Chain A
Amino acid sequence: MNMKPTPDKALIFELSKPGRVAYSLPACDVPETEAASLIPPHLLRAKPAELPEVYEVDVIRHYTELSRRNFGIDNGFYPLGSCTMKYNPKINEDVARFPGFAKIHPYQPEESIQGALELLYTLQNDIAALTGMDQVTLQPAAGAHGEWTGLMLIRAYHESRGEKRTKVIVPDSSHGTNPASATVAGFETITIKSDAKGMVDLDALKAAVGADTAALMLTNPSTLGLFEERIVEIANIVHEAGGLLYYDGANSNAIMGITRPGDMGFDVVHLNLHKTMSTPHGGGGPGAGPVGVKSKLIPFLPKPIVSRRTDGAYYWDYDRPASIGRVKAYYGNFGILVRAYAYIRTYGPEGLRRVSECAVLNANYMMHRLAPYYEVAYPGLCKHEFVLSGRRLKSFGVRTLDVAKRLLDFGYHPPTIYFPLNVEECLMIEPTETESKETLDAFIDAMISIAQEAEQTPEIVRNAPHTTVVKRLDETTAARKPVLNCTCG
């Protein structure tokens, strides 16, 4: 084994020294009664929780050091396909921290939160307009949560008509959450193959639909970055069978102001505000996954939604007897909704259309420039993202995983790899609209260099990364002998 070039970063627990404090709590200005006199001793903790004891400088240096071992959009280009890693505007962060948004309670009297209610009401309407839907719930906390909510709405709709429809159809290029959400909503999943052009295979769809079809879930543009040109026909096939169409909005950044799921024939839509509407991913969350529906599904929406009285006052509308119930405590991820609203107000509808135009132009440009070096999975027009295959490099003993790891040395976050599942050795690249031509060109040059390295010095690629704080990690042992915390040995 080699010498360790850098020492391990300490855990906060390893910095602990009894006697140090990093807090300043209010003084006790009420009687200092012992806990055991206020709460029966058998309910009290027998031994204290062994949390670290550090001072404030330790806290700041520890987390600052951790942040330096992390990579965000502000550090560099992040072309992670289907994740829409666009710039997270700073004004959104500032406004979400206004005390009038951050320091308000969900159960305050309605008259004391009229500003928040107005914001939510406007956002509901703006998302409805953008997606071509009739009403929107802002409750779901994430995309997958929105999918599940939407499927529960579809279930309630069919049940209200006395129909038992048990199957949800998804294409093989769909995100894994689609079938998982279908299962959690009590449906059976039917996966249908894509055709040679990467589109939904209409014959396979026709063969799959029937009296038991509850819905087709579709991402359009698909995870291959392709627009389903026969979407109207697809919608007709599903509708004629009595099913509904669910739109996974993961890829909405390609179509804002250009076309709308509602006009394509979709009945239910979720948007990922942490993708399309620029709210930060936060290292994995929080996000927000509002769901829009056509009028026939409005009665089933989770309660409450925000409504407006004739006198202009806003209120929580709980009077929804056919509602599927709640899907999230309180009203959704309000702090994220504030950021998304600020984003929409920054651009307005014409600005959002320009966002999509530039996202699509950037993607097509990159695809054309990279085509001589990496196989384009589905040549032609792409939308906001495209899929390459790295299978040509396999003859040099270099896998797509190696290409991704080598990109780390060039200072980039790699694209999504090995997804979608139907393209061998794939890389899915989504540049977004907030990247400049210079950034795209530099990344393209890095990709070209790596393709050349793969032929000439493949070991450099295979052993990458070379510049990161840790090298490739042993994931097999991590899963076989899990060490999941440092406190229970």
Chain B
Amino acid sequence: MKHRYIPMTGQDEAEMLAVIGADTIEALFADIPAAIRYEGVLPMSGPLDEPALLRHMRLLAGRNANFDEYVSFLGAGIYDHHIPVVINHVISRSEFYTAYTPYQPEISQGELQAIFEFQSYICELTGMKVANASMYDGATALAEAAALAGGYTKRSRIVVSSAIHPEAKEIVRTSARGLNLDIVEVAANNGLTDLEALESALTDDTAAVLIQSPNFFGAIEDARAIEPVIHGRGGLLVMSVNPLSLALLEAPGELGADIVVGDAQPLGIPASLGGPTCGFFAVTDALMRRIPGRIVGQTVDKEGRRGFVLTLQAREQHIRREKATSNICSNQALLALCASVYMSTLGKTGMQEAALLNVRKAHYAADKIASLRDPHTAAPVFELPFQAPFFNEFVVKLPQALDAAKLNAKLLRKGFIGGYDLALADPSLSGHMLIAVTERRTKDEIDRFVHELEECCR
């Protein structure tokens, strides 16, 4: 069988078998007992030649409504931001994408420096002292933060704001079962974590409070009010944040957070049905030697040149095995590179401008939607139920007769990907929709979207 990725010729095969002293390739599998050998051809999808594969993949891709052809107002954790053109060129350098984890630092200085710069970017944005080389995604990073808090404080109760992304909450719950942590969820009020409920949920066995800001409803939490409450009990404050928002919003390190996590998807990473993205994880100095995952440190070579290495490995599974702080043995290096190139490209002023554009366009859209009036009663058609300040996402209450899923189906026919149906996260929020507006949305698109919303109410 000839194949373009396999160089083995009949002559190669004969020469190599002769060196081994075997008659056939089959003889090399003599150690696999006959009873468990698979006879015949596996019932899998068949092979396609290159042109046919391209055609097949185009056909599958063509059956998905994509952001180039549809105008998206969907967020809820994954956003349609502009991705600067240079990013794909950088991550397409195969020295980056075909490399393994940088175990051999002398020939991996490029990746190691890129990660060191990523860690620096995350520290600068979050105001934290130490960041790791990245995690699978923001949601698993939050679960790792709960694990760290439990291990560090030797306490077992984790208090979770119900305004955290529902999938992140689910993952925290899944992982808590393995770690014997108790998860207690506190309600949200007016779109924000209810401070009184939070206070009454805290005990002396509380390892941490987990909040998200901007939270799942888009609202910006007042971490300054939450910080003394949890620290007063000797627990940790864990914040999950949107990294783009931090160009404008106060750095969690300044707010007293002990662990800051989030998903770097808004920083130049394609939506790609939600993955792969890139989680980040940053901590205070005190937690440095407990942070999960890879970390790159600066050092010198024996001739005094600056260089970078994987460091603090005594925490990790390949050294500590069952006593490791986490089982993670990879990072999302290529996506961390996306995020780094994004931040390099936007820089200090671009990040601020992009964040401000998100704020302005989202507020324009919210005002416009809130201003729609019923022609007969002059009452508002859509309500914005929460009064809390927001970044680029907000909740809209639909008129009684309007079902979010049906509304989205109608919008799709008009070329729009509508908002997130909050009934999926919380049945009590049936009839509510979460709408995201990024810098990519033009005034014209917003106006047309609002017009379609109005039409759908008729």
Contacts and interface: CB of A to CB of B under 8 A. Distances in A.
A478 B80 contact: no
Interface residues of B, number: 216
B42 A129 contact: yes
Contacts of A160: none
Contact of B167 (A32, A88, A180, A329): A329
A474 B347 CA distance: 32
Give the interface centre of B57, B72, B250 by most chain A CB atoms within 10 Å. B57
A38 B363 contact: yes
B327 interface: yes
B99 A71 contact: yes
B275 A483 contact: no
Nearest to A437: B12
Nearest to B130: A484
B37 to A, nearest CB: 6
Contacts of B356: 35
B276 to A, nearest CB: 3
B364 to A, nearest CB: 4
B301 A351 contact: no
A119 interface: yes
Contact of B296 (A144, A413, A484): A484
Interface stretch (B106-114, B194-202, B227-235, B372-380): B106-114
Interface stretch (B134-142, B153-161, B203-211): B134-142
Interface string B114-135: 1111011111110001110110
B64 A152 contact: no
A327 B248 CA distance: 32
B351 interface: yes
Contact of A30 (B45, B364, B420): B364
Interface in A444-484: 465, 468-475, 477-479, 482-484
A233 B48 CA distance: 39
B458 interface: no
A183 B324 contact: yes
B276 A91 contact: no
Contact of B360 (A38, A59, A345): A38
B427 interface: no
A339 to B, nearest CB: 10
B7 A48 contact: no
B95 A365 contact: no
B180 A118 contact: no
Contact of B301 (A72, A100, A148, A472): A472
A331 B106 contact: no
A46 B254 CA distance: 9
B47 A347 contact: yes
Nearest to A280: B97
B261 to A, nearest CB: 12
A336 interface: yes
Contacts of B391: 39
Contacts of A288: 276
Nearest to A479: B311
Contacts of B21: 368
Contacts of A33: 360, 363
A202 interface: no
B118 to A, nearest CB: 9
Nearest to A72: B98
B109 A281 contact: no
A355 B120 contact: no
Interface string A196-229: 0000000000000000000000000000001101
Contacts of A333: 275-276
A144 B329 contact: yes
Contacts of A475: 299, 309, 311
A84 to B, nearest CB: 10
Contact of B275 (A29, A326, A328): A328
B334 A484 contact: no
A295 interface: no
Nearest to B442: A29
B210 to A, nearest CB: 15
B270 A102 contact: yes
A442 B126 CA distance: 49
Interface string A412-451: 0110000100000000000001111100000000000000
B13 A103 contact: no
B334 A329 contact: no
A116 B129 CA distance: 40
Interface stretch (A106-114, A241-249, A389-397): A106-114
A13 B321 contact: no
B173 interface: yes
Contacts of A100: 58, 60-64, 66
B455 interface: no
A216 to B, nearest CB: 15
Interface in A93-130: 93-109, 111-116, 118-119, 122, 125-126, 129-130
B345 A182 contact: no
Contacts of A334: 272-276
Given A98-B58, A103-B66, A71 B330 contact: no
B36 interface: yes
Interface string B27-43: 01111110111100111
Given A91-B54, A106-B274, A468 B123 contact: no
B456 interface: no
Interface in B139-193: 139-140, 147, 165, 167-168, 170-171, 173-175, 177-180
B341 A63 contact: yes
A60 B110 contact: no
A336 B273 CA distance: 11
B77 interface: yes
A360 B28 contact: yes
B272 A142 contact: no
Contacts of B19: 365, 368-369
A78 B317 CA distance: 23
B305 A470 contact: yes
Given A56-B345, A232-B33, A487 B106 contact: no
Interface string B201-225: 0000000000000000000101010
B370 interface: no
A358 B5 CA distance: 11
Contacts of B98: 72-75, 88, 280-281
Nearest to B346: A23
Interface string A36-55: 00111011111011111110
Given A257-B38, A484-B296, A283 B99 contact: yes
A276 to B, nearest CB: 13
Nearest to A22: B345
B309 A473 contact: yes
Nearest to A11: B117
A283 B106 contact: no
A109 B100 CA distance: 36
Contacts of A368: 19-21
Nearest to B175: A184
A285 B299 CA distance: 24
Contact of A183 (B45, B103, B246, B327): B327
Contacts of A78: 100
Contact of A283 (B100, B306, B440): B100
A226 B32 CA distance: 10
A385 to B, nearest CB: 13
Given A51-B121, A258-B37, A21 B349 contact: yes
17 contacts: A11-B120, A24-B84, A25-B354, A33-B360, A35-B359, A46-B254, A51-B343, A69-B113, A72-B95, A107-B78, A145-B136, A325-B170, A333-B276, A348-B48, A369-B19, A437-B16, A485-B116
Identify the 3 closest CB pairs spanning chains A and B, nearest first: A330-B274, A100-B61, A348-B47
Given A177-B318, A283-B96, 16 more contacts: A11-B117, A32-B360, A44-B250, A96-B272, A100-B66, A116-B60, A118-B60, A184-B147, A287-B330, A302-B174, A348-B48, A381-B29, A381-B31, A408-B104, A469-B109, A486-B298
